[in-house]
Amino acid sequence: MTLLKRFLDFYINSSIHVALAVLSFCFLTAFELDLKLSVYFYISLFCASVSGYNFVKYFGLAKFYYRSLTTKLKYIQTVSLLSGIGFLYAFFMLRTPSQLLLIFLGFITFLYAIPLGIKTPRNLRSIGGVKIYIIAIVWGGTSVILPLLEAQSILVLDHLLILFQRIFILIVLMLPFEIRDLKLDEAYLSTIPHKIGIKNTKLIGCALLVDSFILEILKHQLNRESCLVLVFTLTVLAVLLVMSTSRRSRYYTSFIVESVPIMALILIRLLN
Q: What is the DSSP string of 216-237?
A: HHH-SS--HHHHHHHHHHHHHH
Please give the pLDDT value at position 64.
44
Instruction: Give the pLDDT confidence of 8-66 residue by residue, as tens digits.
Output: 999 999 999 999 999 999 999 999 999 999 999 999 999 999 998 898 887 655 554 44
Other beta carbons within 10 Å of 260: 21
Whether 26 contacts 166, CB under 8 Å: no
Over residues 74-132, the pLDDT tens digits come to 888 899 999 999 999 999 999 999 999 999 998 888 877 776 655 554 666 666 667 78
The answer to whether the CB of 143 falls within 8 A of the CB of 262 is: no
Q: Which residues of 59-72 are buried (b: 16+ CB within 10 A; e: fewer)?
A: eeebeeeeeeeeee
Scanning 114-251, the segments in alpha helix (DSSP H) are 131-140, 146-150, 157-180, 192-218, 224-242, 250-251
Q: Which of 84, 87, 101, 106 is nearest to 151 (CA)?
A: 101
Return the closest-CA partner of residue 17 out of 258, 263, 268: 258
Percent pLDDT > 70 in the chain is 88
Sign of the torsion angle spanned by Cα atoms 152, 230, 171, 51: negative
Return all residues near 77 (Cβ < 8 A) that are at least 6 apart: 54, 58, 62, 69
Q: Indicate the SS3 state at residue 255.
A: helix
Q: What is the pLDDT of residue 4?
A: 85
Residue among 117, 109, 93, 176 at smallest CA distance from 142: 109
Domains and CATH numbers, the chain: 2-270 (1.10.600)
The whole-angstrom separation of Cα 174 and Cα 223 is 26
